[in-house]
Structure 1
Amino acid sequence: MKTTATLKKPIDLSFLKPKFLKEGGLKNSLFTIASILVFLGVWHLGATWLFNIEADRKIQKALTEQGTEAALKMEECIASGAVKCKPNTLPTPNQVLAGFNTLWLDHKVISADKKAFAQKTAKVNASREAKGLSPIAYTGRPSFVDQIGTSIKTVLAGVLLALLLAVPAGIVLGLSTRLKSSLNWIIQVFKPVSPVVWLLLVFMIVKTAISNADMDKSFIISFISVGLCSMWATLVNTSVGVSSVEKDYLNVASVLQLSTFKKVFKVILPASLPMIFTGLRITVSVAWMVLIAIELLAQSPGLGSFVWEEFQNGANDSNAKIIVAMFVIGFIGFALDRIMMYLQNAMSFK
């Protein structure tokens, strides 16, 4: 009887490997870690160098104005790390970490105060709500985490406003070449306008149009300014996406005798979604960037206001807190961009 040797195919277990071990992932991870360490090292050396420059300047100033004894005392004071004479320059990574811990502890204290206030006013607020009156609100200062939440709420409201304004306008302009060419000047003129100008314009309108003292005017001014500043990328991309829909799709819609409303929502809009989300991704990035400047100028609660207050405060750890805010702003912006990229990929037809 003739036998034949059978070669069995080995079982593929590559799917069990962690993602960072596949396709050079481990090497890329090591390079990323190394780049972070180099960044922290350069940062520490640069901060130390600036600290020494400022320390020498303070010692030299004491020597020039008060003499040798005062200069020696200043040198000893700086060496001891005393707050009263410590140079206030770029903080080191350790100082920024300490600033983060301070902000987190401050948030815990404020959260406890809010909880205690809510417990004390629970009965009073319940009776006020039963009478149709607004409840007594907590009026203490917001924590750093509270200001992060305010900024995220403002930017989401601004992006929603930009979406509601830009997508319908982009569809209308994309459907009519004549209308697009006649109104193109509006986009070209208002697109490069600075957030400062938009803020002032919105402030003029809102302060006159809204007279209700209970409404949060600073929030309204901030999110409208953000929406007007950031809507233009979505408007342009929607217009381009609608105008570039394949003619075959439009011919099929005509054969099926679809109404204009159905043609837009069943043919044109689905075909334009990838371009719309590309513009929306740019809009979100622009909205987050201009939000910080708008909050800083409008003095509305949020990260921009926090940075400005710490800059004016001039406390010994203010610079460290500003750097903490810078990293938080960057990480939130990165997270928003990743979310929009995921949505954009999900809406892309492949």
Structure 2
Amino acid sequence: MSQTTTAPTPAKSASLTRFLPSLSGMGAKLPGMAKSAGITLASMLLFLLVWQLSATYLYNVEAKSRIDRVMTEQGAAEAEKMKACIASGDISCKPNTLPSPSEVVKASSLLLADHRVISADKAAFKAKTAAVNAQRKAQGLDLITYTGRPSFVDQIFTSLKTVAVGFLIALFIAVPIGIIIGLNENLRTAFNWFIQVFKPVSPVVWLLLVFMIVKTLTLGSDSDTSFLISAVSVGLCSMWATLVNTSVGVSSVNQDYLNVAKVLKLGIGKKIFKVILPSAIPLIFTGLRITVSVAWMVLIAIELLAQSPGLGSFVWEEFQNGANDSNAKIIVAMFVIGFIGFLLDRVMYYIQQSVSFEKALA
């Protein structure tokens, strides 16, 4: 039997040709993408190499210092024992200095394994207390909650929740005030000293101020206020970029747009939401991106100082712990903090791109 082939219809051919420009454009971009990926990979390998060499050097310096100290204090025989102990890799005499990349990878695995154990304990506790909690809920009593230590992953989510609340506090304070003072030159002049004085205040000072206020307002309450103190402190520390950028964005709206609003006899509300805010959005979101970055950065310091749950508290506890793997766990936390900060900035960037008519710088 002879086989016949069906020629593509003009409609199908037209639908296929629509994809050809995009494919050819991607093909043109491939060399540049490959070059960028190669440069990035090479820089990462160089970073790991420098890190490994630095860790090895510092390890040897610490090991030599220990051996010399034992030699001075206890003699040659004990010094040889210390040298042999260090060479064996025994934890009891291992130098505690900058961890190598492999030690950090091992520490991250241990933290994940610890999270699985704690999650299993939580699930078992929940199942064990389910019947009792059901009775207590029916009686209007407080439920029995798990009071064990949080895992590293739990502390990540706690920090994300705190920074989210702090960011919302900064947003709801800075944007309305920025709009109000941006609309009036006299108000901008009146508020300028206030912004310039309080903008550079350290997170430590904001934390102490918020602690004093919250402690006074919650006198007689048994509730834990550490989360509220941390969130408010983060919001007050990070709101200034959004406040300044909102004010500048509102005050620099094109006069032609304002004249059109005047001709159309728009009320103040419509004028703000239909004309001013759309024009000021690029600058507002630039401020919000800075606010997110600052909020995440100061959050770690605030958690560390306030001893509230989160990554800052985790870092401080590991530093105080001083175990042989504590330094490696701190480095794991450092990478996690940096990566989350990068993701938060990317999220704000793509939100800005979706709501703004101007292309933002990456």
TM-score range, shorter chain: over 0.9
- 2:157 maps to a residue whose letter is G
CA contact (8 A) 1:19 1:25 kept: no
Task: Give me the TM-score of the superposition, normalised by structure 2.
Answer: 0.91
Q: Which structure 2 segments of 5+ residues have no match?
A: 1-16
Of the three residues 247, 271, 286, the one matched with 1:239 is 247
| Match in the other structure for 2:30 | 22
Per-residue CA deviations over 1:17-54 (Å, capped at 9, x if unaligned) read: 87896251011111111111111111011100000011
User: Do residues 257 (structure 1) and 259 (structure 2) align?
Assistant: no
Which residue is 1:50 aligned to? 58
Change (3 A) 1:30 1:118: same
Match in the other structure for 1:198: 206
- d(CA) in 1 for partners of 2:155 and 2:219? 26
CA distance in 2, matches of 1:127, 1:193: 50
Find the aligned partners of 1:267 and 1:126 in 2 and give their Cα distance. 54
Conserved 8 A contact 1:241-1:276: yes
The CA distance in 2 between the partners of 1:145 and 1:79, in whole Å, is 34
Aligned partner of 1:99 in structure 2 is 107
CA contact (8 A) 1:20 1:29 kept: no
What do residues 92-131 of structure 1 show as CA deviations (whole Å, max 9, x unaligned)?
Answer: 0000011001100000000000000111111111222222
User: What is the percent sequence identity of the aligned residues?
Assistant: 66
CA RMSD of aligned residues (A): 1.7
Could you tell me how far apart the structure 1 residues matched to 2:173 and 2:294 are?
A: 16
1:166·1:231 contact (CA, 8 Å) conserved in 2? Answer: yes
2:291 is the counterpart of 1:318: no
Task: Give the match for residue 178 of structure 2.
Answer: 170
- Partner residue of 2:159 out of 151, 155, 158: 151
The whole-number CA distance in structure 2 between the counterparts of 1:197 and 1:273 is 31
Deviations along 1:239-280, one digit per CA (max 9) or x if unpaired, are 011111111221222222222122112221122111110100
CA pair 19-336 structure 1, distance change in 2 beyond 3 A: farther
CA distance in 2, matches of 1:179, 1:213: 39
Q: Is the 8 A contact 1:232 1:283 kept in 2?
A: yes
Cα gap change, 1:346/1:53 in structure 2, threshold over 3 Å: closer, same or farther? Answer: same
* Distance across 1 between alignment mates of 2:192 and 2:27: 47
Contact 2:234–2:298 at 8 Å: present in 1 too? yes
Contact between 1:125 and 1:136, CA under 8 Å: does it hold in 2? Answer: yes
| Contact 2:278/2:356 (8 A) holds in 1 | no
Q: Aligned residues, how many?
A: 341
Q: Give ranges in structure 1 of 5+ residues lacking alignment.
A: 1-10
**Is 1:122–2:130 an aligned residue pair?**
yes
Range that drifts further, 164-173 or 252-261:
252-261
Residue 137 of structure 1, CA deviation: 1.0
Corresponding letter in the other structure for 2:206: W
